[in-house]
A and B are shown apart, each in its own frame.
Chain A
Amino acid sequence: MTTTSLATTKFTVINTHVHNIDGVAKVTGRATYTFDVKLPNMLYGKILRSPHPHAKILKIDYSKALEFPGVVGVVTGKEDTLGVKQGIWRRYQDLCDEQILPLDKVRYIGEPVAAVAALTEDIAEQALDLIEVDYEVLPAVYEPMDAIKKEAPEIHEGFERNINVTRHIEWGDVDEAFEEAEYIREDWFKVGGQHHVSMETRAAVSDYTPDGKLTIYHSNQSPYYLQALMAGVLGMREGDVRVISHYVGGAFGGKFELDGAIFCSAVLSKKLKRPVKIIYTREEDFIASKRRTPMFYYVRTGVKKDGTFLAREAKVFTNGGAYTGMGATALYLTGFFHSFPYRWRGYRYDGYRVYTNTLPSTSMRGFGAPQAMFTSEQQIEWIAADLGLDPIEMRRKNSHYPGYEVPGQARIESCGIDQCYDEIQKWIKEKGKLPENRAIGISACGFMTGGIFNWFDTPYAFSAAMVTINQDGTVELYVGAQDMGQGSNTTLAIICAETLGVKMEDIKLHASDTDHCPPDLGAWGSRQTLMTGNAVKMAAEDAKKQLLEFAYAHAHIVSKTGLNIVYDLDIKDRWVHNVARPERGVDYSELVKIALRGKEGQKIVGRGFYTPHRKGMISPAYSYMLQGVEVEIDEETGKIRLIDSLTAHDCGQPINHLGLIGQLEGAFSMAAGYGYLEYMPFEDGQLMNPNLVDYKMIRATEMPPTAVAEIDTYEPEGPYGAKEAGEGLTNPTAAAIGNAIFHRFGVQMKENPIRPEMILNALKEKKEQKKSGKKNK
């Protein structure tokens, strides 16, 4: 990946070439992932799973399993957890609908039914076969449009027609705007699910000790959430649950709810008073974690003939699977981002999340926006073609701009989408004429920088940080943020070093341990750089202010810096200096020693926190981007090959330059997979390809160049002007691929992932239509 930046260098650490602070531990194999944790006297757990998509549990007999040599204990819902219901939407108890180890009913194939702990993993696995479960199989339903029918089986009591959650967004007079429209287009889309495929599968080691303390090593993206949720389901004090997640092998939105590994290992450990380790196999991770939410999308758009956008209406049914999870948030966000990055005089969205007897769906990188953009950005391209308009210029004239207010929802402060259009136009022009089997597709989008909504109902600040300064001037930085591979630890250390005026190597970051770090909502919705970053900046500023108070008052420093009352002091690169005359100053460690003496030996401690206020309904800031993808399509086989790409990307001020490149490249691979490869077929509720042979992901050799043109903007709410990067780029690619296919063949792809047979069928249909003289619409 290459990047071109318009940013000027004004920092000593920010946006410089800084390697990941945990890089050496990772590449030398010293990083301890949950998979690597081994405790004395530890047992190994395995989970018995439902073979039925919908069934009553009549009886569980595990007596034979208990007699099996090496088996130490078994837990079930009926005996051990008493069907405790949980969910991450704690603010709404109705939506806390999941019993991990259900009492009397299973709702999807793969749902945990019982868990065994044994001396080895093999013994635990064998013991599962000895547990006898009597089921009464119930009728099941797998698709949302079937599940809302009157005759459909009821999946959760009290949820009529299986409707789990609804969401409505509306502004302006939609009907009047449609009446003014000179051209109206409506389309139905079927948008697919996607598996998170973290390199590290769900994993937990729980250690309950007789003093009533439960320590859990767990692969997740929010130790605080997991601590609070586990304390809730086990009826423990929050402080008696310690969650440690030092290294996490990917999460992508799939690891901030309770999973079977953490829940069952903790329940077993509490019962047996021994550490218990549960690691999901890859197949278990596929069938019994969660997935990106599949959706049926109806989109109706009204425009003027000159391409002015007037009205849009969307109605969406999502396949929620068996439980709510984070799906309720995805339902709102898909509706909100479906309007992005454009101005609509009237906009109406009705979203319906429907329970089915399939794997639950939840948040995944992009959080509902990839589905929204697949439908929106393709339809916009078709409208431009129908009206004979330039698709980039049509987008440009309707786009957001700095200071624009999305009615009742959000205020846009920084917005570089206009410059994004320029960059992609230039790129397309430079490409010139393409070979006949290739075409370029484009797609725009915008994305949030952290969520404002507090569905978890936390009483704490959304982010917090603490800085302490040692006698030699080195710094301990404590955050509750979670690095799951995206490089947030490095980003936060950069912000701390820049703010305090020290070097990167001075910072030691402490994170991912609820016993020692402040609560933080963790890594989701692209929140950590802005939210935890602001908390870190505040904590470092607090510490720096305390240091400088001693500098202003100390005669030696006053004389060295030539200070008088009108001059300011600052610290940069460990040099405490007069801002007006930077050459006059003292060494930073000298000031630290003076401050320590002045505070009677107390360490300097800086504190910071951040919670967004008066920033609308959704997010404090929004990133913007336009992506172009050059695609080659084989007319004989329908096979797609990605040749080249450029994303013009406005993420405000980049903080961690190398991290940004890695994030954007990773997001592209996931987005491309969603566009044309990663398919999750179900038959009678059973996932047909739960392995990495049959579930096709993009490989390194299939990745096209993924260049990025950084657009230089400044986001006033972000630390040093920074905002989202790395999640939003998951959103445009599926539509860009669809648009390339449209420009190559004139066919419209209304389902993803776009598979070869779909292209061949569309071409066949087009030929037949041509024969019969019909126009493809």
Chain B
Amino acid sequence: MSYKCPVCKKEWKDSLQVARHMFGTGDKPHKEWVDEQGKDKGFTFIDLMIEQATTPGNKSYVTLAEIIEKAQSSL
């Protein structure tokens, strides 16, 4: 199975790769999409990024990857 970026529709085999792509690109449309998903859950793109930066492990990427997986059906 492949996973699409919900914003630019590029594809990867792994949802974590899509999450890395979204953090790495970090332009306005990608940021806005993440902010939108985090509205109910209480996080923003920048919150996730800073959490990734300041805590050991890969939690923020995993969080975003899960959201991306759930969003696949609507893409």
Interface residues of A (CB under 8 A from B): 148, 160-161, 163, 166-168, 170, 174-175, 186, 298, 300, 313, 315, 317, 348, 350, 352
Contact = CB atoms under 8 A, between A and B. Distances in A.
B3 interface: no
A166 B23 CA distance: 8
A186 B53 CA distance: 15
A390 to B, nearest CB: 29
A352 B46 contact: no
A352 B53 contact: yes
B58 A174 contact: yes
Contacts of A352: 49, 53
A706 B31 CA distance: 51
Contacts of A168: 20, 23-24
B26 interface: yes
B54 A315 contact: yes
B42 interface: no
A355 to B, nearest CB: 14
Interface string B11-39: 00000000010011010000100000000
B66 to A, nearest CB: 15
A317 B31 CA distance: 20
Contacts of A160: 31, 46
Contacts of A298: 56
A313 B56 contact: yes
A350 B46 contact: no
Given A160-B31, A160-B46, 4 more contacts: A148-B53, A315-B53, A352-B49, A352-B53
B53 A350 contact: yes
A168 B56 CA distance: 14
Given A175-B57, A186-B56, A300-B56, A170 B20 contact: yes
B46 to A, nearest CB: 5
A192 B26 CA distance: 28
B24 A166 contact: yes
**10 cross-chain pairs, A with B, having the tightest CB-CB distances, nearest first:** A160-B46, A352-B53, A161-B46, A315-B53, A168-B24, A168-B20, A300-B56, A350-B53, A148-B50, A350-B52
Interface of B: 20, 23-24, 26, 31, 46, 49-50, 52-54, 56-58
Nearest to A315: B53
A350 B56 CA distance: 11
A160 B44 CA distance: 11
A351 to B, nearest CB: 9
Contacts of A175: 57-58
A186 B31 CA distance: 31
A193 B18 CA distance: 35
With most chain B CB atoms within 10 A of its CB, the pick from A168, A174, A186 is A168
- Looking at chain A's contact residues, is the secondary structure mostly helix, strand, loop, or mixed? strand
Contacts of A348: 58
A178 to B, nearest CB: 9
Contacts of B49: 163, 166, 352
A350 B57 CA distance: 11
A166 B50 CA distance: 11
16 contacts: A148-B50, A160-B31, A161-B46, A161-B50, A163-B46, A168-B24, A170-B20, A175-B58, A186-B56, A300-B56, A313-B57, A315-B52, A315-B56, A317-B53, A348-B58, A350-B53
A160 B32 CA distance: 12
- Looking at chain B's contact residues, is the secondary structure mostly helix, strand, loop, or mixed? helix
A313 B55 CA distance: 11
B18 to A, nearest CB: 13
A482 to B, nearest CB: 33
A166 B20 contact: no
A352 B50 CA distance: 9
Contacts of A313: 56-57
A148 B54 CA distance: 11
Contacts of B56: 186, 298, 300, 313, 315
A317 B24 CA distance: 15
A628 B3 CA distance: 49
Contacts of B50: 148, 161
A175 B52 CA distance: 14
Nearest to A175: B58
Contact of A166 (B26, B54, B58): B26
A313 B54 CA distance: 12
A326 B24 CA distance: 18
Nearest to B45: A160
With most chain A CB atoms within 10 A of its CB, the pick from B23, B49, B53, B56 is B53
A37 B23 CA distance: 49
B74 to A, nearest CB: 26
Contacts of A174: 58
A313 B56 CA distance: 8
Nearest to B25: A166
A161 B47 CA distance: 10
B68 to A, nearest CB: 16
Nearest to B27: A94
A161 B20 CA distance: 19
A352 B26 CA distance: 12
Contacts of B53: 148, 315, 317, 350, 352
Contacts of B58: 174-175, 348
A175 to B, nearest CB: 6
B23 to A, nearest CB: 7
A313 B61 CA distance: 14
A186 B54 CA distance: 13
A459 B58 CA distance: 38
Contacts of A300: 56
A376 B26 CA distance: 29
A31 B50 CA distance: 51
A348 B59 CA distance: 13
A298 B53 CA distance: 9
A623 to B, nearest CB: 29
A571 to B, nearest CB: 52
Contacts of B52: 315, 350
B48 to A, nearest CB: 12
A130 to B, nearest CB: 44
Nearest to A161: B46
A161 B26 CA distance: 13
B62 to A, nearest CB: 9
B56 to A, nearest CB: 6
Contacts of B20: 168, 170
B55 to A, nearest CB: 8
Nearest to B60: A350
Contacts of B31: 160
Nearest to A145: B54
Contacts of B23: 166, 168
Contacts of B57: 175, 313
B63 to A, nearest CB: 14
Nearest to B56: A300
A328 to B, nearest CB: 13
With most chain A CB atoms within 10 A of its CB, the pick from B20, B26, B31, B54 is B54
A166 B57 CA distance: 17
Contacts of B46: 160-161, 163
A298 B24 CA distance: 20
A616 to B, nearest CB: 18
